[in-house]
Amino acid sequence: QGNEAEVAAFSVPSYACQRRTTLENHNTVLTDALSLLAENAELSEEDGRGVAFRRAAAVLKALPKPVASMTQLRGLPCLGEHSLRVIKDILENGASSEVESTKQSERYKALKVLTGIFGVGARTADRWIRDGIHNLRQLQDSGPTLNRAQQAGLEHYDDLNQPVSKSDADAIGEVVEKAVVSVLPGAHMTLIGGFRRGKLTGHDVDFLITHPEEGREVGLMPKLVSWLESQGFLLYQKTTRNSYLESKDGPARPASNMDRFERCFSIFKLTKEEKRGTKHPETLTENGAQTPDNGGLDLDLDLDQTKPAGHKPWRAVRVDLVVSPISQFAFALLGWTGSKLFERELRRWAGHEKSMSLSSHALYDNRQSKYLRATSEEEIFAHLGLEFVPPSERNA
Ligand code: ATP
Ligand code: MN
Ligand code: MN
């Protein structure tokens, strides 16, 4: 005891969907470092490297104690040479030189600022950087054509880069619920995404809407959006018809009625009255709350000096709405609860271990050449031969 060599090695199963990952993370220094490298890889459109770092971080999130020595990591899955080097650097020197130099790099800083604009992805940001645009001031000055989403994103930049609290999510939930019930009595709404996993803050609020009678949900989204718009709740919205049928052929390609799956990416106007309407007090500083991870970014905040900062009686919040027919509800619920890595691992498990194809719409068994029905998340896990993992333990 106390001797490093005697510290017991950790053991975890290889797929994140076989593990229970709560929000209690004993290795935040290590997982923050690996997540930053994952983010940097994703922002550089190196998705393979991004996933590798995400998987490594997820293994460390599942450990019951802080890592004290490299020997404890022996035999753990998903820890490649690169991730191990980063961990070793931190354990021995208190920080990873690669992480520190990435954080300081002009390219990373510029990618963070530019992709912090709603509607701007890694590719657009990269193009702007090659055109000499590194911050919001330069973006405004050189004026590339912005689409409607990006204009809204820029206009609400500060608000949208503030974490959303659970009480804000609940306040928005009350409004959306009211809208849903007024446009389609009997329809119901579920909070999904990070808040369903028990997170105290998020980058947006996600809702899934359905009706217990198959088919009644058709046409719901446009009505819902009109209602919210007429009441002045939407600063921006883009409704997308599900493009599943048009997507390239795959075994999980649904047989019918999949084109009803609609979603709406919106920017919600949350006013003080709506906030007051909720029973829950603001809890922005609770344990686990995020601060906007700007990593010392040189944000050009001149944009907002024209506005009375902090004095407007509302804030902008990203809200995602998804409508699903009841026959697909369990798949939609599972697919939109996240985390993103947990979802990716579920699909990998299904494909590699079970010869099945899982999507947010359906589960197809390639061996039996048939779709497997499910009316609950529990049934889907059972079909996949996995122990049920509740939402609060899907924080991989
Ligand atoms: P945060 O608190 O940062 O919002 P989150 O887990 O809620 O975290 P989201 O980006 O809101 O993250 O995504 C929630 C879930 O919805 C994830 O499981 C993700 O896989 C799924 N999702 C997000 N966007 C899409 C999309 N365009 N198509 C299908 N699923 C999506
Ligand atoms: Mn979310
Ligand atoms: Mn979302």
Residue nearest (by alpha carbon) to ligand 1 atom 27: 263
Mean pLDDT of 64-69: 96
206 given a catalytic annotation: yes
- Residue found under tokens 């795959």: 250
Task: Report the distance separating Cα 167 and Cα 202, nearest Å.
Answer: 11
User: Kind and range of the H or E element at 322?
Assistant: strand 314-323
What is residue 287's predicted lDDT score, i.e. its pLDDT?
45
Residue nearest (by alpha carbon) to ligand 1 atom 24: 336
Query: Which of 293, 300, 304, 320 does the annotation list as catalytic?
Result: 320
249 given a catalytic annotation: no
What is residue 3's predicted lDDT score, i.e. its pLDDT?
53
Longest dimension (CA), the chain: 67
What is residue 310's predicted lDDT score, i.e. its pLDDT?
60
Q: For residue 365, give the nearest of 351, 345, 381 by alpha carbon.
A: 351
Mean pLDDT of 76-93: 98
What is residue 243's predicted lDDT score, i.e. its pLDDT?
59
Q: Ligand 1 test: best mutation among 51, 61, 324, 339, most atoms within 8 Å of CB?
A: 339
| 8 pLDDT tier (thresholds 50, 70, 90) | confident
- Residue found under tokens 């990269």: 126
Average pLDDT, the chain: 89
Which tokens is 101 given? 């130099």
| 242 pLDDT tier (thresholds 50, 70, 90) | low
| 285 pLDDT tier (thresholds 50, 70, 90) | very low
Mean pLDDT of 333-343: 97
Reported in sequence order, the residue ranges of the chain that DSSP labels E, i.e. its strands, are: 164-165, 188-192, 201-202, 205-210, 234-241, 262-271, 314-323, 356-358, 363-365, 370-371
What's this model's pTM, rounded to 2 decimal places? 0.88
Ligand 1, residues at Cβ distance < 6 Å: 193-194, 199, 202-204, 206, 336, 338-340, 343, 360
User: Kind and range of the H or E element at 265?
Assistant: strand 262-271
Q: What's the chain's length in residues? A: 396
* Coil/strand/helix, residue 79: coil
pLDDT in tens, 147-166: 999 999 999 999 999 999 99
- Residue found under tokens 């899955």: 77
User: Kind and range of the H or E element at 239?
Assistant: strand 234-241
Q: Ligand 1 test: best mutation among 267, 320, 395, most atoms within 8 Å of CB?
A: 320
Cα dihedral 130, 131, 137, 143 sign: negative
pLDDT in tens, 117-149: 999 999 999 999 999 999 999 999 887 789 999
Q: Does residue 256 register a pLDDT over 90?
A: no
Please indicate whether residue 86 or residue 288 has the higher confidence score (pLDDT).
Answer: 86
Q: Which ligand is nearest to the CA of 203?
A: 1
Q: Percent of the chain scored above 90 by pLDDT?
A: 80
Mean pLDDT of 347-361: 97
Torsion, Cα 375 377 379 383, to 10 degrees, reads 120
Cα dihedral 375, 378, 384, 390 sign: positive
Instruction: Report yes or no: 207 and 190 within 8 Å, Cβ to Cβ.
Output: yes
Instruction: Report yes or no: 161 and 112 within 8 Å, Cβ to Cβ.
Output: no
Kindly report which listed range (78-87, 256-265, 319-328) carries the lowest average pLDDT score.
256-265
| 279 pLDDT tier (thresholds 50, 70, 90) | low
Which residues touch 46 (CB under 8 Å, ≥6 apart)? none
What is residue 286's predicted lDDT score, i.e. its pLDDT?
43
Identify any residues that bridge with 241 across adjacent strands, giving them in sequence order: 262
- Tell how far the Cα of 263 is from the centroid of ligand 1, in angstroms: 12
Q: For residue 339, give the nearest of 94, 9, 31, 79 by alpha carbon.
A: 31
What is residue 309's predicted lDDT score, i.e. its pLDDT?
57
What is residue 288's predicted lDDT score, i.e. its pLDDT?
44
pLDDT in tens, 179-230: 999 999 999 999 999 999 999 999 999 999 999 999 999 999 999 999 999 9
293 given a catalytic annotation: no
Q: Which residues of 214-244 are buried (b: 16+ CB within 10 A; e: fewer)?
A: eebbeebbeebbebbeeeebbbbbeeeebeb
What is residue 73's predicted lDDT score, i.e. its pLDDT?
96
Identify any residues that bridge with 321 across adjacent strands, giving them in sequence order: 207, 264
What is residue 247's predicted lDDT score, i.e. its pLDDT?
53
What is the ipTM for the molecules in this complex? 0.97
Residue 385 DSSP symbol: T
Kindly report which listed range (9-13, 177-181, 259-263) carries the lowest average pLDDT score.
259-263
